[in-house]
Amino acid sequence: MSGKMCSSNSVIQAQKLVDQLQLEASMERIKISLTAADLVRYCQDHRRSDPLLTGIAASSNPFKDKKTCVLL
Amino acid sequence: MACQGLQGGETVASLKRESESLRKKLEEERKKLSDIELNQVAEKIEVLGPLSIKTRRVLKGHGNKVLCMDWCKDKRRLVSSSQDGKVIVWDAFTLNKEHGVALPCTWVMACAYAPSGCAVACGGLDNKCSVFPLSLDKNENLSAKKKSVAMHTNYVSGCTFTSSDMQILTSSGDGTCALWDVESGQLLQSFHGHTADVLSLDLAPSETGNTFVSGGCDKKANIWDMRSGQNIQSFESHESDINCVKYYPSGDAFASASDDATCRFYDLRADREVAVYQKDSVIFGASTVDFSLSGRLLFAGYNDYTINVWDVLKGTRASILFGHENRVSRVRVSPDGTALCSASWDNTLRVSWAAYL
């Protein structure tokens, strides 16, 4: 009886794996030459607005203390 | 009875054969579309100039290893959590500590700022994820308002709010991820598929829809549909535990950091790994990754106390950041891309940025 339980459990698990793999296999994939071009394009389109890439001027750096004016 | 046992055995064997042939078919399908390498496509773009990213601020205050941190959407506040149970909210501009709470457990491995900026979530060895509303009154006892939301059967390794303060997504050492309603604590969806501890998760950028990525000790990175609970894609190319996963800003790819000393880049539409960031001299495990705003740079924190900055497209190392005196546990780029915060087992957090050369 326990043998029957074990075998039906492993059947369920094996079936789940087959179902999962069938789902993954059915996916529509796109060629890397196309998808990689899109990844590169995204970087290029946004490179000028990437402060860690371009650097920030001290005057526009939110982390730096703003210098105060002293009126003599 | 003997006959039924035999039937069960035959079914399992034939299912195993079917899953093997499906795996082979998957590999073939993926190979068919690998008509070029990412770094070949990237040959025509300019090489990165020298980067001027340096550590400019050190946040001291934790008495023990800092395990996690997260930026607030206001781009100046951040929350951090530590091995001794302390969770601190900082103002990164002034270096002031704005709030502090002590959890009754150690190893608070996960913390996250709510989108509104009005609450933080954290969890760890207590197997829970709790939400603390942040009040304007600095003297108020935050612990009193604590709300237990998630309940796992093992440690909580990661947590994030979804698009609002109303839901949180958690990853756990119990091998599952789960979506919770903050108000009621109700489990809305659970995600089963990993065969070992899940160590990290990341939500897809809002424009790309309701999915998230998770990575764990089974060396797999899985993509999940948040509504159905379905595992829609799976990647297994790392040779050891995946410690961290993070989406590329466009949502079409993600990166991972692993104990195998490599970081990898996976293209979701081609359904395969398209880059491996590694060097012979990099032999310690990578624990954390994050992208710069344009996606060109990948910051990765390692167990050798350094942060390697990788050129995502060309696959080369662009820079190394030194300064931490113990393992780097977490790196996160601020919401406007201005700064990088790194948390470490040396009890500190560091904020770095690039100045005009």
**B186 CB-contact burial (10 Å; exposed 0-12 / middle 13-18 / buried 19+):** exposed
Q: Would you call B292 an interface residue with chain A, using a CB distance cutoff of 8 Å?
A: yes
Nearest-Cα distance to chain A for B103, in Å, is: 30
**B29 CB-contact burial (10 Å; exposed 0-12 / middle 13-18 / buried 19+):** middle
pLDDT at B89 over 90: yes
The confidence score (pLDDT) of residue A1 equals: 47
The confidence score (pLDDT) of residue B138 equals: 66
Tokens representing B83 are: 């091995």
**Closest chain A residue by Cα to residue B251:** A39
The confidence score (pLDDT) of residue B18 equals: 92
pLDDT at A66 over 60: no
**B46 CB-contact burial (10 Å; exposed 0-12 / middle 13-18 / buried 19+):** exposed
Q: What is the dihedral of CA B91, B96, B99, B104, to 10 degrees?
A: 110
The confidence score (pLDDT) of residue B8 equals: 59
Nearest-Cα distance to chain A for B74, in Å, is: 12
Query: B48: pLDDT confidence band, cut at 50, 70 and 90?
Result: very high
Mean pLDDT of B325-351: 97
The confidence score (pLDDT) of residue B356 equals: 75
| Nearest CB to B355 within list A17, A47, A55 | A55
Mean pLDDT of B211-215: 98
Mean pLDDT of A54-60: 85
For chain B, positions 17-36, list CB contacts with chain A under 8 A: 18-19, 22-23, 25-26, 29-30, 33-36
Cβ–Cβ below 8 Å for A29 and B270: yes
Residue B331: which of B294, B297, B281, B296 has the closest Cα?
Answer: B297
Query: A7: pLDDT confidence band, cut at 50, 70 and 90?
Result: low
Per-residue DSSP letters for A7-39? Answer: HHHHHHHHHHHHHHHHHHHT-----HHHHHHHH
pLDDT at A72 over 70: no
CB B317 within 8 A of CB B291: no
Contact residues on chain A for B38, CB-CB shorter than 8 A: 32, 36, 39
| Nearest CB to B340 within list A8, A47, A52 | A52
For chain B, positions 136-155, list CB contacts with chain A under 8 A: none
Question: What gap in Å lies between CA B169 and CA B164, rounded to an integer?
Answer: 11
Tracing tokens 């495990």 back to the chain, one arrives at: B285
pLDDT at B3 over 50: no
Tokens representing B86 are: 């302390």
Tokens representing B175 are: 């091998």
Contact residues on chain A for B250, CB-CB shorter than 8 A: 38-39, 42
- The number of C-alpha atoms within 13 Å of B295 and in the hemisphere containing its C-beta is 23
pLDDT at B207 over 90: no
Q: Would you call B6 an interface residue with chain A, using a CB distance cutoff of 8 Å?
A: no
pLDDT at B196 over 50: yes
What is the phi/psi pair of residue B2, to 5°? -65, -40
The confidence score (pLDDT) of residue A40 equals: 97
Strands (E), B134-285: 147-151, 156-161, 167-172, 177-181, 187-191, 198-203, 211-216, 221-225, 231-235, 242-247, 253-258, 263-267, 272-277
The confidence score (pLDDT) of residue B357 equals: 53
Number of cross-chain residue pairs from A and B with Cβ atoms under 8 Å apart: 192
Q: Which residues partner with B330 through β-bridges?
A: B343
The confidence score (pLDDT) of residue B208 equals: 66
Question: What gap in Å lies between CA B219 and CA B194, rounded to an integer?
Answer: 9
The confidence score (pLDDT) of residue A57 equals: 84
Q: Is the ipTM above a cut-off of 0.85?
A: yes
**Closest chain A residue by Cα to residue B4:** A4
The confidence score (pLDDT) of residue B176 equals: 98
Query: B317: pLDDT confidence band, cut at 50, 70 and 90?
Result: very high
Cβ–Cβ below 8 Å for B340 and A10: no
Mean pLDDT of B289-296: 98
The confidence score (pLDDT) of residue A71 equals: 57
Question: What gap in Å lies between CA B42 and CA A31, rounded to an integer?
Answer: 16
Percent share of chain B, pLDDT over 90? 86
- Read off the pLDDT of residues B63-85 as tens digits, 9 standing for 90 and up: 999 999 999 999 999 999 999 99
Question: What gap in Å lies between CA B271 and CA A27, rounded to an integer?
Answer: 9
Question: B interface mutation test: which of A32, A46, A49, A56 has the most B CBs within 10 A?
Answer: A32
Residue B108: which of B178, B59, B159 has the closest Cα?
Answer: B159
Mean pLDDT of A13-37: 91
Average predicted confidence (pLDDT) for chain B: 94
Question: What gap in Å lies between CA B357 and CA B54, rounded to an integer?
Answer: 12
The confidence score (pLDDT) of residue A65 equals: 62
Contact residues on chain B for A9, CB-CB shorter than 8 A: none
pLDDT at B158 over 70: yes
